[in-house]
Amino acid sequence: MRRRFKFDDYEINIIVRALVDFRNQLIAEGRYTDAVDELILKLCSVK
């Protein structure tokens, strides 16, 4: 089952910033960021 959510621009910006912070944390730990990168790209293409 797939769910769809509607976010306004402000909410999308908050989510993207949180994902970028999480991505930076993963990089600092030497872990892969592929899944987070995909989410960031998907959210940025929504705008």
**pLDDT of 19-42, one tens digit each?**
999 999 999 999 999 999 999 999
CA distance 26 to 24: 5
Q: Using alpha carbons, select from 1, 44, 39 the residue that is nearest to residue 19.
A: 39
Q: For residue 41, give the amino acid letter.
A: L
> Higher-confidence residue: 20 or 2?
20
pTM tops 0.85, yes or no = no
Q: Using alpha carbons, select from 2, 14, 11, 12 the residue that is nearest to residue 46.
A: 12
CA distance 10 to 31: 29
Q: Torsion angle, CA of 41/42/46/47, rounded to 10 degrees?
A: -20
